[in-house]
Amino acid sequence: MILGFSVHDTIVVFDRIRENLQKNEKNKEDKDFKTIVGNSIRQTFVRSINTSLTTLFAIFILYLLGPEAIRHFSLALLIGITAGTYSSIFIGSPLLVTINNWRNK
C-alpha cells in the first residue's frame, strides 16, 4: 500500500508532465522543460495532498482508537505514506529535471 501511493503519485505527476510537453509542442510554445515540470507539479499538487491526507486521517484514527495489534502497522503506514507523497512531489520531479539537464549537456 505504501509503495502503491508513492508510485501512483509519481505516475500522476509524470503523466501530467507528458501531457504538458505534448501541449507545448502542439501549440509551438517555447517553454523550457523546468517550467513545464513546475507547472505540472502545481497542477497535481492539491490532488496528491488531498488524497494522502484523507488516507492519513483514517490511518491516524486507527492508530489512536484501533486495537493494540494494529498500532505498529498503522504507524508504519503513516510514516510510509507521508514519505511516499513527499518523494513523489519533491524528489521525483526535480530528479527528472536534473537527469534531463545532464542528458542535454
pTM flag (> 0.85): no
Is residue 93 within 8 A of residue 13, CB to CB? The reply is: yes
* pLDDT single digits (tens) 36-82: 999 999 999 999 899 999 999 999 999 999 999 999 999 999 999 99
d(CA 73, CA 75): 5
| pLDDT at residue 10 is higher than 90 | no
Length of the chain: 105
d(CA 44, CA 46): 6
Looking at the domain assignment, is residue 105 inside a domain?
Answer: no
Looking at the domain assignment, is residue 12 inside a domain?
Answer: yes
Domain that holds residue 44: 2-100
Looking at the domain assignment, is residue 47 inside a domain?
Answer: yes
- At 2 the pLDDT is 66
